[in-house]
Amino acid sequence: MTKFPSSELRNFAEQCQSFGPVEMLPQSDSLVAVVNCPSEVLKSLAEFLVHSLQYNFGSLVVEAPPNQWKLIYLFYGRENPSLVQLWVYLKSDHPRVDSISDKIHSADWHERQAEDLFGLVFTGHPRLGDFVLHEEWPEGVNPMCTGFSATHPVKEQVVDPAWRPARILETPGAFLMPIGPVYADYYESAQFFLETVGEDVVRMIPRFFFKYRGVEKLAEGQPWQRVLLMAERFSGTSAIAHSTALCAALEQIYQIQPPPRALGLRLILAEIERIRHHFAVLSDICHASGMSVPSAQMDILEEQALRLSGQCAGHRYLYGWVTLGGLNRDMTLTALDTIARETQLLAKASATIHSALQFTSSFLDRFEGVGAISAAGARELALVGPIARASGVRTDLRLMLPYGPYAQDTGFLAMTEPLEQEGDGYARIRVLFAEIQQSVKLIDATVAALPTGPVRVEAGGVRGQSAFGWAEAPNGAAFHYVRLDAQGCVQRYQIATPSFANWHGFHIAAENFAFQDFPIMMASFGLSIAESDR
Amino acid sequence: MFGWFVKGATSRVRTTRYPAHDETAPGVTPGRPVETTCDNELLAIGLAATCPTGAIKPAAFKTTADISRCVHCMACTRGENTMSWQADYRWAKWVGDNARRAARHRPFRKSLHIRVVDTGSCDAVLSEIKQLVKPYYNMHRLGFFITPTPRHADVLMVAGPVTSQMRLALLKTYAAMPEPKWVMAVGNCAISGCVFAPSFIANGSVAGVIPLDVQVPGCPPPPLAILHGLLLLTGREAEMPPVDQPLGGTP
Ligand code: SF4
């Protein structure tokens, strides 16, 4: 595993000290640096991390009092594989801290979310207020605070007139077109306001969290087994990724390491999940551009991937596999052979469709130059996953912070991350197709070299308190933070999902575009709202 | 473009022959736990305790399983003492009152227009609904269509535990539908809230918000189960048959 070299750590500590009275906390894992950071130093240190050392902002975890507020700002390195946590303590009666999002744009939604759910004030943030909780939610009630009951329904307030954007375009001929929250056909619930003065949409105002289920609140006080069920199910199409990330955090707390066979199987399952996800996104992309035959061809591959999962793993979306210390069960030799064989066929079929699409001009016309995001834009908003890679930004956690299965030498480290430069819809399509091929190669190599042995180690007692676990979900980087008590019950759980990060960046793709391109942009982003809303 | 025409015309037909014939392809359903005989009551109680959602109920010499609470975690299929498992998919059940049930056939025997509302579902159940209009299941051949507007809809298909922030949208969509109208809850979180209930922010069931007629259990229900629900609504299929008649599918 790549380490945070101790010389570099010392170096980093010295650099940090130059910003003010910070304290480096010793860590057992050399990949992680934890800095105890007074709130006055926070902003300059965060800026230094992001703008000078090329770190991405990953997550903002809040631990509410009884005793004091603890804020954990998580950063992960784009250039050097490491995690930096900045810990900021606030007095329990003084819930205020400087906003960092004017300098670090990607922290914007994280701060708004913390303000809405905890009542923390981020001084200097221009857009605090209703975000996760909409206008029907009573003002001043902060559900994530200790003492608020997770099971007790809240009396909503009646709002009249209905919500409208704070600022709208006011000019002759201006028109605001609302879409959602009951969205077209079988798509997820979200709301978009498209502002136009004629043919082109000048601005798009999105509204999310209609689907907010409060997973993080519901997890409080529950045994980890129950929380794992939720981690699998809050975004069912990325079940393996999120359960792996949660279990990785739990495994750090219990200080156990899953056996090699379990890690290999986790990789296989995660890559099947990625393949299915990419097929579904590509099908939507073809569908949005009116290409019914390619769309139907991708649908066939998607259902084949689902049936393969159902046949070999017992569940079409791979529920019920990942657990603390490894896997719940082993996979038979026949099942592994079938997976290796069938995924090869899927890869071949998808390559055929890809090459045919490259010569279909009516398809390319709809995607080239549409919804483009520059590399600078992707970096500034800390976009993740295939969308960032299409803009030429490396963000693959499997390579950057190799975890569990990917830290083993399965030939993965030798592989190159599919990268494109244009950042438009077509670049995203190429990345998706390339990742399918790469996942199949990975599955093949892993099946061939899969060690025998047990698939689970027993967990002893709780050794630590809290930890971050992460995984590269089909949509990008996911970070799960957990704190357990001595009985193994979750005290605090927070998820930073790739869809959350990428929806935040959607607005830069959706500026000055033609009306008919909106479904195309949505499809080429291929994001999940369930994952973002939690 | 001609290439695509050839590709489409030369692809073989994939569509399932359900409901005329049972679908037996592997992997179309995760299956479900069914009534299991146990040697004694203690074993039954022990088996019931493995289930994290209380889907298994112990009795004297057997355990019974309630699929509308089962989240397919497969815990009850491991260890020495396991639940019997059946790979079927005719899971839909009529839960509306009998007067509505008796009245349902006349206008709706042949064709239905469906409006889907997502009230906080995971992506997976929507993905399974999506499969219905795709080549393998192609519900259009049976006269079922997704419609974008509730004004044209006969059936409201609801997925998700009805979050507070979607409740109003659900009520408005329901109100916008012309009579007669039917409501179908798809997936366990729409039926009982599943792992997301009880909750401060979700209602936990569709039935608590609007009158419910048909429920399709599963986490998520496979496309064939949802199709069974639609066929049940039109009176072209019967309810879940007793367990001792195996239907196609491999375990
Ligand atoms: S699969 Fe899991 S949820 Fe379903 S009955 Fe068995 S133990 Fe209960």
**Chain B residues 80-119 within an 8 A CB cutoff of chain A:** 115-119
Q: Which residues of A touch B122 (CB under 8 A)?
A: 233-237, 530
Of A241-250, A438-447, A457-466, which gets the smallest average pLDDT?
A457-466
pLDDT of residue A3: 45
pLDDT at B245 over 80: no
What is the whole-number distance in angstroms between the Cα of residue B218 and the centre of ligand 1? 11
Statement to judge: residues A391 and A341 lie in one domain: yes
The rounded percent of chain A whose pLDDT value lies above 70 is 93
> Residue B219: CB within 6 Å of ligand 1?
no
Out of A7-11, B53-57, B177-181, pick the least confident: A7-11
More reliable by pLDDT, A531 or B5: A531
The pLDDT of residue B174: 92
Q: What value does the mean pLDDT take over residues B222-232? A: 90
Q: Residue B189: helix, strand or coil by DSSP? A: helix
Residue A433: pLDDT over 60: yes
Of the two residues A447 and A21, the one the predictor is more confident about is A447
What ranges do the domains of chain B cover?
32-86, 93-233
Contact (Cβ atoms closer than 8 angstroms) between residue A155 and residue A163: no
Residue A228 has pLDDT above 70, yes or no: yes
Where does the pLDDT of residue A10 fall: very low under 50, low under 70, confident under 90, or very high at 90 and above?
low
Q: Give yes or no: residues A196 and A251 share one domain.
A: no
Nearest CA to ligand 1 atom 7: B51
Give the model's pLDDT for residue B249: 34
Q: What total of structural domains would you count in chain A? A: 3
Cα separation, A43 vs A23, in Å, equals: 16
- CATH code, domain with A362: 1.10.645.10
Tell me, yes or no, whether A321 and A185 share the same domain. Answer: no
Q: How many whole angstroms separate alpha carbon B234 and alpha carbon B230?
A: 6
- Per residue in A285-307, pLDDT (tens digit) is 888 887 888 888 889 999 999 99
pLDDT band per the 50, 70, 90 thresholds, residue A51: confident
Give dist(CA A137, CA A155) in Å, integer.
Answer: 8
**What tens digit of pLDDT does each residue of A28-40 get?**
665 677 777 777 7
* DSSP state letter for B163: B
Which residues are CB-contacts of A442 (< 8 A; sequence separation ≥ 6)? A267, A271, A410, A411, A412, A415
Residue whose Cα lies nearest atom 4 of ligand 1: it is: B70
- Please report the pLDDT score of residue B196 as a whole number: 86
Ranked by mean pLDDT, the top range of A39-53, A159-173, A181-195, A249-263 is A249-263
CATH number of B32-86: 3.30.70
Are residue A369 and residue A388 in the same domain, yes or no? Answer: yes
CATH number for the domain harbouring residue A57: 3.30.460.80
* pLDDT (tens digit per residue) in B68-120: 888 888 888 887 788 888 888 888 888 877 777 776 666 677 788 999 999 98
Q: Which residue among B146, B201, B222 places its CB closest to the CB of A185?
A: B146
Considering the domain architecture, whether residues A471 and A365 belong to the same structural domain is answered as yes
Instruction: Please indicate, yes or no, if residue A130 is contained in any of the structural domains.
Output: no
Domain holding A31, by residue range, is 6-123
Residue A451 lies in a domain: yes
| Mutational pocket test of ligand 1: of B36, B63, B67, B71, the residue with most ligand atoms within 8 Å of the beta carbon | B71
Stronger pLDDT, A421 or A27, i.e. the higher one: A421
Read off the pLDDT of residues A508-522 as tens digits, 9 standing for 90 and up: 777 777 777 788 888
Q: Are residues A342 and A232 in the same domain?
A: yes
> Over the stretch B190-206, which tens digit does the pLDDT of each residue have?
888 888 878 888 888 88
Give contacts of A235 with chain B, Cβ < 8 Å. Answer: 122-123
Residue A372 counted as domain residue:
yes
CA of A152 to the centre of ligand 1 (A): 26
Confidence of residue B243 (pLDDT cuts 50, 70, 90): very low
pLDDT at A243: 92
Q: What is the pLDDT of residue B192?
A: 86
Q: Return the ∠ at Cα B91 (arms to B86 and B97), rounded to 5°.
A: 145
For A83-117, how does the pLDDT look when each residue is reduced to its tens digit (9 = 90+)? Answer: 888 888 888 877 888 888 888 888 888 888 888 88
Nearest to A315 among B30, B160, B163 (CB): B30
Pairing between β-strand A68-77 and β-strand A83-91 as defined by DSSP bridges:
antiparallel
Which is nearest to B209 in space by CA: B167, B154, B160, B179? Answer: B167
- The confidence score (pLDDT) of residue A422 equals 75
A310: closest CA of chain B, how far (Å): 4
B120 contact A CB<8A? yes
Instruction: Give the closest of A218, A310, A359 to B26, CB-based.
Output: A310
Mean pLDDT of all residues in chain A?
A: 82
**Beta strand B56-58 with B62-65: parallel, antiparallel or unpaired?**
antiparallel
Instruction: Evaluate whether residue A113 is within a structural domain.
Output: yes
> Hunting for tokens 């608020």 — which residue is that?
A148
Quick: pLDDT tens for B117-169.
Answer: 999 888 889 999 999 998 889 888 888 999 888 898 889 999 988 888 888 88
Lowest mean pLDDT among A2-16, A450-464, B107-121, B179-193: A2-16
Q: What CA–CA distance (Å, rounded) separates B226 from B215?
A: 9
From the CA of B69, give the closest atom in ligand 1: 3
**pLDDT (average), residues A206-211:** 87
User: Is pLDDT above 70 for A466?
Assistant: yes
User: At a CB cut-off of 8 Å and minimum separation 6, what does B154 contact?
Assistant: B107, B108, B112, B113, B114, B177, B180, B181, B182
Q: Is residue A466 part of a domain?
A: yes
Structure tokens that stand for A126 in this block: 């221009």
Three-class secondary structure of residue B200 per DSSP: coil
Give the per-residue pLDDT at A28.
61
Q: Is residue A531 part of a domain?
A: no
Would you say residue B18 has pLDDT above 80? yes
Comparing CA positions, the residue from A454, A523, A503, A521 lying closest to residue A210 is: A503
- Do A254 and A182 have their domain in common? no
Q: State if residue B74 touches ligand 1 by the CB under 6 angstroms criterion.
A: yes
Gap from B106 CA to chain A (nearest CA, Å)? 26
Q: Is the pLDDT of residue A426 over 70?
A: yes
Angle at A473 between CA A469 and CA A474, to 5 degrees: 175
pLDDT number for residue A273: 92
Q: Note the pLDDT of residue A524.
A: 81
**Which pLDDT score is estimated for A2?**
39
For residue B67 and ligand 1, the question of a CB distance below 6 A is answered with no
Do A256 and A342 share a structural domain? yes
Q: Are residues A336 and A264 in the same domain?
A: yes
> Which is more confident, A264 or B44?
A264
Class of residue A405 by CB neighbours under 10 A (exposed 0-12, middle 13-18, buried 19+): buried
B139-168: buried (b, 16+ CB within 10 Å) or exposed (e) per residue? beebebebbeebeebbbbbbbbbbbbbbbb
Per-residue pLDDT tens for A341-362?
989 898 888 888 888 877 777 7
Is the per-residue pLDDT at A415 higher than 70? no
User: Do the chains contact at A237 and B127, CB–CB below 8 Å?
Assistant: yes
Does the pLDDT at position A70 exceed 80? yes
Q: In the numeric block, which tokens belong to residue A469? A: 């676990």
Domain match, A18 and A107 both: yes
Identify from A136, A213, A364 which residue to disrupt to test chain B contact, counting B C-beta atoms within 10 A and taking the largest count. Answer: A213
Residue nearest to atom 6 of ligand 1 (CA): B76
- Sheet of A476-484: strand order equals A466-473, A476-484, A490-496
Supply the CATH classification number for the domain B93-233: 3.40.50.12280
* Cβ(B72) – ligand 1 distance below 6 Å: yes
